[in-house]
Amino acid sequence: MPSNWEIEGYPEPIYLNIKYPWEGYEKPDFPDVPKDFNPVGSYRRTFTVPDDWSGRRTLISFQGVKSAFFVWVNGKKVGYSEDSYTPAEFDISPYLRPGANSLSVEVYRWSDGSWLEDQDMIDLSGIFRDVYLYAIPLVHVHDLFVRTDLDSAFRDATLSVTTVVRDRTGKAAKGERRVEAQLYDAKGRPVLRRPLTGEPVFDEPLTLKADVKAPDLWSAEDPNLYTLVVTLTDGKGRSTDIQRTRVGFRQVDFGPGKWTVNGKHVMFHGTNRHESTPEHGQAVPESVMVEDVLLMKRHNINAVRTSHYPNHPRWLELCDEYGLYAIDETNLETHGVRDRLPASLPEWTDACVDRIRSMVERDKNHACVVAWSLGNEAGDGDNFKTMADWVRARDDSRPVHYEGMNSVADVHSEMYTKPADVEKYGKSANPKPYMLCEYTHAMGNSNGNLPEYWEIFEKYPNLHGGFVWDWVDQNIRRPIPGDAKHSYLSYGGDWHPGYPTDGNFSCNGLVASTRSPHPGLMEIKKVYQPLSVTADDLGAGTVKVRNKHLFSGLDAYELRWSVTRNGERVQHGTLRAPDVAPGTSRAVRLPYKKPGTLEPGAEYWLDVTFALRDKTRWAPAGHIVAAEQLPMDWRVPTPADPAPGTLPALELSESGTEVMVTGREVEVVLSKASGTLSSYKVKGKLLLAGGPVPNFWRGPTDNDIGRKYHEEAATWRDAGAKAKVTEVKAAQPSPGEVTIEVTATLPTSPSPSAWHTVFTVRGDGEVRVRHTLKAAAGLPDLPVVGALLTAPAGFERIDWYGRGPHENYQDRKSSAFVGRYRSTVDDQVAPYVRPQQTGNMTDVRNLSLADRAGDGLTVLADPADGEPLLETSALHHTPSDLDGPKHPYEVKRRDETILGVNHRQMGVGGNDSWGAPPLEAYLLHSGRTYTYAYRLRALSRA
Ligand code: IPT
């Protein structure tokens, strides 16, 4: 298995984003590289060549070596190569001898080529892709380039097969050789009545053409592939060389006002992907590639940008086979010096053109490739013009992409543009096709406001979607310091003490490096789903289904619907999916019935999902592709208030330090110093051991830290814990009701804020709580408006009616449907590689915590006295526990359950992670009064 030597610790890896990796050792200027510290890997092995290879040329192919290397065979120098991500091949025939041969390779970590490889990733080196030998005849098919052009109806195709035949003997007789080509369908049946055939002129292109009637077209939705076999025959009709390639019939058109695949406006539900695994570095095993493809397909991703270099060749085969559009990107990034390199420097032109040439030549026959990218973050200048010209001359069937210099590209590409600015481009009616090659920076707890982006992308015809930054966190698995038995996912700063680093900025994945999905991926799945369901006339039982596929109907799906009442399913059914042509919508009747009597106060929702009827290559039957939830507009009667005055009596007593309320079943003790409960017992069972302590903090997210919000908002960090109680007033308005009013000052700076809580203890055991925060004007926005309650150890089970099952926030909740969910407290932590805010649920109506016996506490939103819905979390950590530790293994786990009962938390944002706040609608401003209320009671066992 190939690898990167830094993965094994030789030497420690380096992670820097914009700066060049050698920054901490030496600072040479290009084209020089460090001289004093520049590790060299020497590889040596022996090999034998099969006997029947004699009379042929033997080539050695290196698929990926970073960054530059020399090759020797049997002690003789064969050659040198750089450009780490495309193949380097050498004809070693003259160096071979019978029996054992020796191969030596000397790999330099840094070379002048490294100046063109400043991608933001962990800097790894060595031979990280396959190395193999192969033999070719002396007269051979040197090149093969296949094109599929479709007619104006995108039905029939012209297949063009261009070959270049070479004669290495220099003496092959003219007119003796023939090239033959046959196309086979997926079942292996020949498609052409007679094979194409032609006579090659050595070293010159020979193009053979065939009309193919109505082939099964290739698209990401329906990736039909054929196989082309090209045979070279000699004068006696014997086949002397056979080549094959997969062929997907598809046509990309582009230009002002269009970017289409097979005639349809293409929309990129895309993601960027680096090649990275925690165990093997950039030597990604095929099983992990397949895992990535499956995860992408299952989450409705239809496009991938191979950021920022040509990927392992198997990756593009998988994109062809499973159906993913690819933007294939040249290995060219000069971020740290992009204002000067390559710019228009003529001495770098060949290197730039060589990089795109080796990519295009390697990948040109892949149906999945729908654009060529000149690189990333490499500045602008004449060299890009030259590269673009080279591509157009070689392959004009795909557009050129380059965000760094859109003027030389066929499409207009931007990164991290805010939704409002994307909309400006949409409105501008600029006909140049527009896409975001990077957007929604998935670092940590992120990916807010995706519905806002997608509403805009789908509205304007010059917009083509975007590519998430990015797919997978980059980490290296290492033993936990002092605990060799367990490992953790390390990142910049964990290696090389004192060496400059950009820390966890390489961890921006929709999935963790273990491929465990982050909650943001669920939101991506929702906004990328290929159909939508909206209300039509819910009273009459109709919804509107829009089919966003470009080519497919909905017959692959079954439609499942259900009506829930307060989260319990009361009606449901399954139908064949309606017949809705691609790009159109239709009203669909669902056979639910409005119940004769509606339960007073109940909520009714309609859930509609589309699931695969049969298994596909990428998912099992039953896999849910799309889902939507709509509130039923049934007017439910308001519940009758229970008759007052029936509450069992309570006894109120006070000491200098405490207020105590006791009843037949309930006992509440409030500390006057803290203004919070020190215990809440019902029927002798302890339900709360502390709280509600005001809380305005969250474990800073990567986006918070990136915009220094955790510093800006620091006044809120301990404001709750340091609240100063100024007054505690207890009263008993009726025998069954005691109120305790707590007034406190919050030491926010420069001006203090005020916190006010009214507890109403009732004889039936319920405690009603109403909080009011007066956030002083001139203070920073609040991360959270809420309170923390401490439930005793053992309350491990949670059950809530609100949004779930994955954590959600005001700006990331479209994928989290309202429902009744069950989970455990330990499962509330999302797998973020750096601990941060986690576990929030929005729009919570009620939540229960229970121990094994099923006893516990219920919290209910109190719509009568505040906002109707809560935000909650139940964790074994406080927000401060999640503020500081660099790795999950360092986070303190408390035995108790810390229950966050909040009015609201600010959004997670994610338009970028270096300054962009959440959108205005998801901020919590100061200078405002916030009020919310909830009820606490013993969980009644169902
Ligand atoms: C953009 C880079 O293209 C990408 O490689 C990565 O570094 C990303 O940022 C941040 O994670 S460049 C951006 C700083 C404009």
Judgement on whether residues 128 and 167 belong to the same structural domain of the protein: no
Judgement on whether residues 336 and 246 belong to the same structural domain of the protein: no
In this prediction, residue 8 carries a pLDDT of 85
> Residue range 672-682: average pLDDT?
98
* 520-574: pLDDT as tens digits: 999 999 999 999 999 999 999 999 999 999 999 999 999 999 999 999 999 999 9
Judgement on whether residues 120 and 216 belong to the same structural domain of the protein: no
In a domain, 502, yes or no: no
Residue where a domain stops, chosen among 229, 250, 271 = 250
For residue 112, report the phi and psi dihedrals to the nearest 5 degrees. -65, -25
Residue where a domain stops, chosen among 576, 601, 631 = 631
Instruction: Residue 742: count other Cβ atoms within 10 Å of its Cβ.
Output: 25
* 109-122: pLDDT as tens digits: 999 999 999 999 99
- How many Å separate Cα 748 from the centre of its chain? 37
> Residue range 867-896: average pLDDT?
96
Judgement on whether residues 717 and 572 belong to the same structural domain of the protein: no
* 458-483: pLDDT as tens digits: 999 999 999 999 999 999 999 999 99
Residue 901's CATH number: 2.70.98.10
Given a cut of 70, whether residue 594 has pLDDT beyond it is yes
Given a cut of 60, whether residue 942 has pLDDT beyond it is no
Judgement on whether residues 876 and 889 belong to the same structural domain of the protein: yes
pTM for the complete prediction?
0.97
Residue 146's CATH number: 2.60.40.10
Residue where a domain stops, chosen among 524, 552, 584 = 524
Contact 140, 153 (CB under 8 A): no
Given a cut of 80, whether residue 174 has pLDDT beyond it is no
Judgement on whether residues 515 and 623 belong to the same structural domain of the protein: no
Given a cut of 70, whether residue 642 has pLDDT beyond it is no
In a domain, 315, yes or no: yes
In a domain, 501, yes or no: no
In this prediction, residue 436 carries a pLDDT of 99
Judgement on whether residues 777 and 888 belong to the same structural domain of the protein: yes
Domain that holds residue 145: 139-250
In a domain, 567, yes or no: yes
Ligand 1 atom having least distance to the Cα of 308: 5
> In angstroms, what is the C-alpha Rg of the chain?
32
Nearest CA to ligand 1 atom 4: 120
Structure tokens that stand for 555 in this block? 């017959």
Please report, rounded to a whole number, the percentage of residues in the chain having pLDDT higher than 70.
Answer: 99
Q: Among residues 82, 377, 807, 896, which one is catalytic?
A: 377
Judgement on whether residues 665 and 583 belong to the same structural domain of the protein: no
Mean pLDDT score of the chain: 97
Structure tokens that stand for 338 in this block? 């992009």
In a domain, 309, yes or no: yes
In this prediction, residue 640 carries a pLDDT of 79
Judgement on whether residues 42 and 183 belong to the same structural domain of the protein: no
* 740-770: pLDDT as tens digits: 999 999 999 999 999 999 999 999 999 999 9
In a domain, 638, yes or no: no
Residue 435's CATH number: 3.20.20.80
Structure tokens that stand for 881 in this block? 């526990």
415 lines ligand 1 (CB under 6 A): yes
In a domain, 481, yes or no: no
Q: How far is the CA of 144 from the centre of ligand 1 (A)?
A: 36
In this prediction, residue 643 carries a pLDDT of 66
> Residue range 780-792: average pLDDT?
98
Residue 13's CATH number: 2.60.120.260
pLDDT band, very low/low/confident/very high, at 131 (cuts 50, 70, 90): very high
Judgement on whether residues 880 and 731 belong to the same structural domain of the protein: yes
From the list 490, 465, 466, the residue with the least C-alpha distance to 479 is 490
Half-sphere exposure of 176 (CA within 13 A, CB side): 12
Q: Among residues 221, 275, 403, 438, which one is catalytic?
A: 438
Q: Active-site residue 377, yes or no?
A: yes
912 lines ligand 1 (CB under 6 A): no
Given a cut of 90, whether residue 176 has pLDDT beyond it is no
Judgement on whether residues 206 and 287 belong to the same structural domain of the protein: no
Mutate to test the pocket of ligand 1, among 438, 472, 913 (most ligand atoms within 8 A of CB): 438
Judgement on whether residues 736 and 660 belong to the same structural domain of the protein: yes
In a domain, 624, yes or no: yes
In this prediction, residue 535 carries a pLDDT of 97
916 lines ligand 1 (CB under 6 A): no
Give the Cα separation of 144 and 540 in Å (integer).
Answer: 60
CA angle 350, 352, 356 (to 5 degrees): 115
Q: How far is the CA of 18 from the centre of ligand 1 (A)?
A: 9
- Distance from first CA to last CA of the chain, Å, rounded? 56
Strand partners, 755: 744, 773
Name the DSSP letter for residue 452: H
Total domains present in the chain:
5
In this prediction, residue 941 carries a pLDDT of 66
Q: Active-site residue 438, yes or no?
A: yes
Please report, rounded to a whole number, the percentage of residues in the chain having pLDDT higher than 90.
Answer: 95
